[in-house]
Each structure stands twice: as C-alpha cells, then as structure tokens.
C-alpha cells in the first residue's frame, strides 16, 4: 500500500464525517496495523495532510483533524476590480469539460484514483481587450451544480462566491511563458512571451474545491492595501 492510498483513506474518513473536525485520530501505529502497511507509509501520508492544513500534528498529543473558521473567504472579483478602475468588464468561456487532472493538479487537490474535475478555460476583458486568461480545475462533488453550461454565462469565481462557502485558500505568484495552445491566442501575445502566473487553491474546510491559474501580460501590475 502506498502513502497516497493511505492519504485517500484518511481524507475520505475526514470528509465523510467519520473523523470530524477537532477529532483525535488513531495513532500511526494503530493505522499501520489496521491498513496492513508500514508506519513510515502512514507517517508520509500524515505529513502530506498536515502540509495541506487538513490535520494538525503535535508531539506527545497526537494528530487531530484541523478545524477551520466558518467564514466566507474574502475574494477580489475581476469584475469589481475592473469596474472600480472605470473599465467595462467582459468574460468569455473558451472551453469546459470533465477530465482527468494533470499529476501536479491531482496532487494539489488530493484526488483519489480515477476522480475527474471540471476543467475550464476562460478569458477576461477590460474594454473589450484581453485582460487575463484562466484555466481552472473544479471539484464538482464539492461544488455541486457547476457545469460547463453554467460557465457559459458566469465565471467560475463568481459562481463559487454565490454557491460555495469557501473559507481558506493558498496562493502563489510566478512567471510562465505564453503557450501556442491557449495563453498566447487568448491574450493576443507572441508565443513564448513571458506572462505573470497567479495560482490559487481554494478549500471548503478540509476539501479542496478549485484550483485556478490566471495568466496576465508581463506589464500587468498588482495593487492592494495592507
């Protein structure tokens, strides 16, 4: 048995409420005996769950299911951002389909074997000019009701805001290059042009819901208040 399989079993028990938030779960030795695997395998699975904020580990205390505040995650919508700056907001869905996720996305969203996600590609506009493009993977089990048809009329971010009480997220910023398949044509950029890459993973308690990757032209500037 692999550590990923152990992770899946533990995650399923947490998400099904067998081990509710705050619950002290069995020790690594007990789980290893129950599942018929090495303790090191269980330890690796628990380490991955702890890194993602699903469980909390404390020496001499044990491992508990993490608790998360029941508050709506604060999100900045592109519509609000553009309209506040005096621009006309636009949105277009390029494509959407249920599919297997790439390995890095599947790992980030802690998918079990054979689980699929709704993969969508879209473009956002400011005064009719491409502002950024987005690819997004959404867990339709956690976000019941979101479909390709729904995304034709509303962005995934806006739909999630109105339908799923997301309460935590992680974000990273980096640099990528415009590929010929999606980013370059979506933003009207030369192929391999550098773009700003914003990745965001959003959760509902201990369940990953949506992972988005937005790409902005290299002259894009982020502004905010602290």
pLDDT tens column, 49-71: 888 888 888 887 888 888 876 65
Enumerate residues 6+ apart whose C-beta is below 8 A from 101.
Answer: 109, 111, 116, 117, 119, 137
pLDDT in tens, 103-114: 999 989 988 777
Q: Which of 77-86, 122-131, 134-143, 151-160 has the lowest mean pLDDT?
A: 77-86
C-alpha closest to that of 214 among 121, 99, 149: 121
Alpha carbon of residue 46 to chain centroid: 20
Checking if the pLDDT of 212 tops 80, the result is: yes
Which pLDDT band, with edges at 50, 70 and 90, does 177 fall under? very high
Residue 205: its pLDDT value, please?
86
pLDDT given for residue 87 in this prediction: 93
The 3-state DSSP class for residue 221 equals: coil
**20 pLDDT higher than 80:** yes
Rounded mean pLDDT of 69-77?
Answer: 62
Both tokens assigned to 147: 């479909």
Nearest CA among 192, 201, 67, 187 for reference residue 124: 187
The predicted structure's pLDDT at residue 69: 65
Sign of the Cα torsion 75, 78, 80, 86 reads positive
pLDDT at 120 > cutoff 60 = yes
Question: How large is the average pLDDT for residues 29-52?
Answer: 89
Question: What pLDDT does 224 receive?
Answer: 58
**The pLDDT value given to residue 48:** 85
Q: What is the mean pLDDT of residues 183-201?
A: 95
pLDDT of residue 213: 97
Sign of CA dihedral 134, 50, 102, 35: negative
Residue 64, phi then psi, degrees to nearest 5: -120, 155
d(CA 125, CA 99): 26
Mean pLDDT (whole number) for 142-150: 94
Look at residue 155 and give its three-state secondary structure. coil
């Amino acid at each position: 048995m692999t550590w990923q399989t152990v992770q899946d079993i533990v995650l399923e028990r947490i998400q099904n409420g067998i081990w509710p938030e705050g619950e002290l779960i069995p020790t690594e030795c007990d789980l290893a005996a129950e599942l018929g695997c090495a303790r090191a395998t269980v330890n690796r699975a628990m380490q991955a769950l702890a890194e993602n904020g699903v469980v909390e580990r404390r020496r001499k205390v044990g491992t508990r299911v993490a608790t998360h505040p029941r508050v709506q995650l604060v999100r900045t919508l592109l519509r609000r951002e553009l309209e506040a700056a005096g621009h006309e907001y636009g949105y277009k869905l390029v494509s959407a389909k249920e599919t297997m996720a790439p390995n890095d996305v599947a790992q980030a969203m802690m998918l079990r074997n054979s689980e699929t996600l709704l993969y969508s590609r879209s473009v956002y506009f400011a005064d009719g000019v491409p502002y950024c493009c987005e690819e997004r993977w959404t867990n339709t089990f956690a976000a019941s009701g979101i479909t390709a048809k729904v995304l034709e009329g509303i962005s995934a971010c806006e739909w999630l805001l109105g339908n799923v009480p997301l309460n935590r997220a992680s974000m990273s910023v980096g640099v990528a290059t415009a590929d010929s398949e999606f980013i370059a044509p979506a933003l009207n950029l030369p192929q391999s042009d550098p773009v700003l890459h914003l990745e965001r993973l959003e959760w509902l308690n201990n369940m990953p819901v949506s992972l988005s990757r937005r790409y902005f032209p290299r002259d894009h500037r982020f502004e905010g208040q602290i």
